[in-house]
Amino acid sequence: MTSAVAQQLWCVATLLGTTVLAIATSRSRRSTAIVYGATLAISLIALSRCLPVLVAGGNATELVLPVGLPWLGAHFRLDALAAFFLAVVNLGGAAASLYGLGYGSHETAPHRVLPFFPAFLAGMNLVVLADDAFTFLLCWEFMSLASWALVMAHHREADNARAGYVYLVMASFGTLALLLAFGLLSGAGGGYGFATMRAAQHSPSEAGLVLALMLLGAGSKAGLAPLHVWLPLAHPAAPSHVSALMSGVMTKVAIYGFIRVVFDLLGPPNWSSAVVVLVLGSATAVLGILSALMEKDLKRLLAYSTIENIGVIFASLGLALAFQANGLGLAAALAFTAALFHILNHSFFKSLLFFGAGAVLSSTGQRNIETLGGLIHRMPLTSFAFLVGCVAISALPPFNGFASEWLVFQAILQSPDLPQWGLKVMVPAVGASLALAAALAAACFVKAFGITFLGRARSPVAEAAGEVDRCSLAAMFALAVLCFLAGILPGLVIDVLSPVAQALLGHRMPVQASDPWLSIVPIEESRSSYNGLLVFVFITATASLAVYFIHRFASHAIRRGPAWGCGFTDPTPAAQYSGVSFVQPIRRVFGTLVFQAREHVEMPPPGDLRPARLKVEMHDPVWEGLYAPVSGAVWFLADRLNQLQFLTIRRYLSLVFATLVTLLLVLAIWS
């Protein structure tokens, strides 16, 4: 009987083998089925092997392979935290593989997707398993690289190529930040093993620096503002099931890195570091969802919404840090569990939504929601699954998104126990911004679902759309069911997550399974409780009651007629509200401040038959405020220095001469 970690590594090895297989069979027509079938099977096996570790909460198993850094070897370790993230990865992987079985047949360049897909999965699994800095970073970058290759699958579109470029540079930036963090953690002696780092003492300033670097490194991968700019470019560029993996799973792996270092390796946190995480998290949440609202590309919208959720998760982790720093173990466990729960939930519904977007894309060839509409009639099943995803991500009961956000809010309500005034005052403000983000998320997904699936078709392709294949639907419905189950049975999920909190924080939330009626009670019943199951039962019961009474006692008659347009019935679908017009009120309220949104009306002079046009001008504050100047500076310097390529030999000699004289002068002064 091999140990749990060895089993996981065998799964990874099989995944890498699948990559080789994919290259070997790239000419074959059956390649798609073979590869996705294999990844589906492997993911499910890996999932089934890691869940026992999570539930049983057994001891961590370790393994050292004689690869990687020669004097260290590659350390792997499977503990509760790793098991949880492995579960997230492999669940997402399995769903994406299932979806890929159907969606992959639409792929125009399968040889650019199939080899990298299993490699990407393998990379994510390995990051979670790694137990020394070198292996961790190696796998981390390998994961980035594989996903980059997937982003570049449709490289002929200039936008995708740019997206891939920005992505890779940001990934590299993040890795370098992590590298520095690990350099600091390992010390000059090069103690790269996580066990060594865990045992070492870190001074407060060092710990602060490591945290900052982790925020840069893991944050850039996860999409923390202002390092998120690559995310809305890269995630949509990949094939949809890969987008789902990137958004739903890879960002979580980044968060895993953050948790592993900050909660596990760094030792007891400092409350001031929590402030930074809280501020960044809540700012990311609001900025992310506002950007999502302004977006009309469905996949980009989803990517921005990922940023929002990452913000929520980070805010929650910040709370956990704040409580942990003050020795409030129970509250810390609550916040931490809330973060983990949200991680799980987000991986469910974001994958589901990306699958839906992929279904729309493969059925209509469109990602721009302004050209869609009325798909609920033509893709009823897809639209139902997508609706479930929308409700879940909007944090509405009784679905899972609400359960985790509710826990976050409960954690925020523990803030009076914090001794620091700064935190006392700040945490409610964080709560306000999270509430704002949640409300805006609902608005955003009303828009996303409403414009895409409701109303009348805005283009011929939307008119001609059809339902997608069974595998895709099966993947979507599986996730929808998971969203629902996690929503009505949150207590069970919390109990599964508790060992992770116990292992990292030394505290856990109370056991929920024993509570009556399966409700969740974070602290005690008189303070707060929530029961998704009952809420669901109540709503169903009352709604059924209403339906019963009405159909029993009231009129059944239905007459179909044209929609009423106040006397101006306009048959063209263009008269409907568009996505841009839908968000106009919100754009006016928030956009003028955040995006410097301006509306210009171009009114043709009287007699001119051209239509009047309303133009909306928006600026991305992060890109224009941070990235454009940096890239401008780089190009400016590159231009300046480039003149050195065109000097004459005499000038080159002068350079040599000047260097010589300088060094001699230095020597004369120094020695």
Partner 1 sequence: MPNLAFDIAHLLAGSLVLVSFMMLYQDRLYALLNVFALHAVVLACSVAWQAYIQNAPHLYVTAVIALVFKAVIIPVALHRIIKQLGIHRDIETAVGIGLTMLAGMGLVALSMVLMLRVTGTADPLAREDLAFALSVVLLGLLVMVTRRNAVSQVVGFMSLENGLVLAATGAKGMPLVVEISVAFSILIAFIVIGVFLFRIRERFDTVDVGALDEFRGERR
Partner 2 sequence: MTAASDAAAWVLLIPIGAAAVLAALPGYRLTAGLNILASLSTFLAALSLFVLERPQPGHYLLVDDLNIVFIVLNTFVGFTTSVFSASYIAHEIETGRLTPGYLRFYHAMYQIMMFGMNLAFVSNNIGLMWVAVEIATLTTVLMVGIYRTHAALEAAWKYFILGSVGIALALFGTILVYMAARPVVGEGQDAMVWTLLINQAATFDPALLNLAFIFLLLGYGTKVGLAPLHAWLPDAHAEGPTPISAVLSGLLLNVALYAVLRFKILLAANPYAISPGPLMVTMGLTSLLFAAFMLYRRRDIKRLFAYSSIEHMGIIVFAFGMGGPLANFAGLLHMVMHSLTKSGIFYAVGHIAQVKGTQRIADIRGLTETHPVLGWGLVVGVVAIAGLPPLGIFMTEFLIVSSTFARQPLLAIPLVLGLLLAFGALMLRLTGLAFGEPEGNAKPAEASYVPMFAHFALVLTAGVYLPGPLVVWFQHVASLLG
Partner 3 sequence: MVVISDILVQLVQMTLVLLLAPLFTGFVRKIKARLLRRKGASVFQPYRDLLRLLRKEVVLAENASWLFRVTPYITFAAIWVAAALVPTFATGLQFSWSADLIAIVALLGSARFFLALAGMDVGTSFGGIGSSREVMIAALAEPAMLLMVFCVALIAGSTQLSTVATFMASSEVGLRISLGMAMIALIMVALAENARIPVDNPATHLELTMVHEAMILEYSGRHLAMIEFGAFLKLLFYVSLIICVFFPWQITIVGAGPASYLAGAGAYIFKLAVASLLLAAFETATAKMRVFRVPEFLGAALMLGLLGTLLRFVSRSF
Q: Is 450 in the site for partner 3 (CB under 8 A)?
A: yes
Measured CA to CA, the distance from residue 375 to residue 380 in angstroms comes to 7
Q: Which of 299, 356, 321 is nearest to 214 (CA)?
A: 321
Applying CB under 8 A, which part among 142-150, 251-259, 323-331, 653-661 lies near partner 1?
653-661
What is the rounded distance in angstroms from the CA atom of residue 537 to the CA atom of residue 48? 31
At closest approach, how far in Å is the CB of 195 from partner 2? 17
Specify the stretch interacting with partner 2 by CB under 8 A; choose among 83-91, 444-452, 524-532, 650-658. Answer: 650-658
**Residues in region 385-424 near partner 3 by CB under 8 A:** 387, 391, 394-397, 402, 406, 409-410, 412-413, 415-416, 421, 424
Q: Out of 66, 70, 466, 561, point to the residue binding partner 3 (CB under 8 A).
A: 561
Instruction: Give min distance, CB of 362 to partner 3, in A.
Output: 22
- Show the binding pattern over residues 147-186: x = contacts partner 2 (CB under 8 A), - = does not: -----x--xx-x--xx-xx--xx--xx--x--xx-xxx-x
| Window of 88-96, 414-422, 544-552, 648-656 that interacts with partner 2 by CB under 8 A | 648-656
- Rounded to whole angstroms, the Cα distance separating 575 from 120 reads 44
Q: Which two tokens stand for residue 331?
A: 């509250």
Cβ contact 257:127 at 8 Å: yes
- Count the alpha carbons within 13 Å of 440 in the hemisphere toward its beta carbon: 28
528 binding partner 3? (CB under 8 A): yes
Q: Say how far apart CA 337 and CA 491 lie, in whole Å.
A: 11
Alpha-carbon distance of 591 to 585, in angstroms, equals 9
Q: Per rule CB under 8 A, is residue 490 in the interface with partner 3?
A: no
Write each residue from 365 to 384 as x if it is in contact with partner 3 (CB under 8 A), else as -, in one continuous string. --------xx-xx--x----
In this chain, which of 71, 421, 648, 670 binds partner 1, going by CB under 8 A? 648
Report the largest interatomic distance among the alpha carbons of the chain, rounded to a whole angstrom. 105
User: Which residues have a Cβ under 8 Å from the Cβ of 221 and sit 6 or more positions away?
Assistant: 140, 144, 171, 174, 250, 251, 253, 254, 257
- The answer to whether the beta carbons of residues 135 and 74 sit under 8 Å apart is yes
Which residue in 375, 376, 357, 377 sits closest to 367, CA to CA? Answer: 357
Question: According to the binding rule CB under 8 A, does residue 558 interact with partner 2?
Answer: no
The count of residues interacting with partner 2 (CB under 8 A) is 62
- What is the torsional sign of CA 66, 69, 73, 76? negative
452's enclosing H/E stretch is: helix 421-453
Number of residues counted as binding partner 1 (CB under 8 A): 17
Stretch that binds partner 1, among 238-246, 272-280, 426-434, 652-660 (CB under 8 A): 652-660
Task: Region of 223 please: left (phi>0), alpha (psi -120 to 50) or beta.
Answer: left
Q: What is the C-alpha to C-alpha distance for residues 534 and 519, in angstroms, rounded to an integer?
A: 8
Q: Which of 201, 205, 526, 671 binds partner 1 (CB under 8 A)?
A: 671
Structure tokens at 483: 């969203």
* Contact positions with partner 3 (CB under 8 A) in 577-616: 577, 581-586, 588-589
Binding test (CB under 8 A) with partner 3, winner from 109, 169, 432, 628: 432
Per CB under 8 A, residues contacting partner 1 are 645-646, 648-651, 653-654, 656-657, 660-661, 664-665, 667-668, 671
Per CB under 8 A, residues contacting partner 2 are 66-71, 133-134, 137-139, 141-142, 144-145, 152, 155-156, 158, 161-162, 164-165, 168-169, 172-173, 176, 179-180, 182-184, 186-190, 192, 634-635, 637-639, 641-642, 644-645, 647, 649, 652-653, 655-656, 658-660, 663-664, 667, 670-671
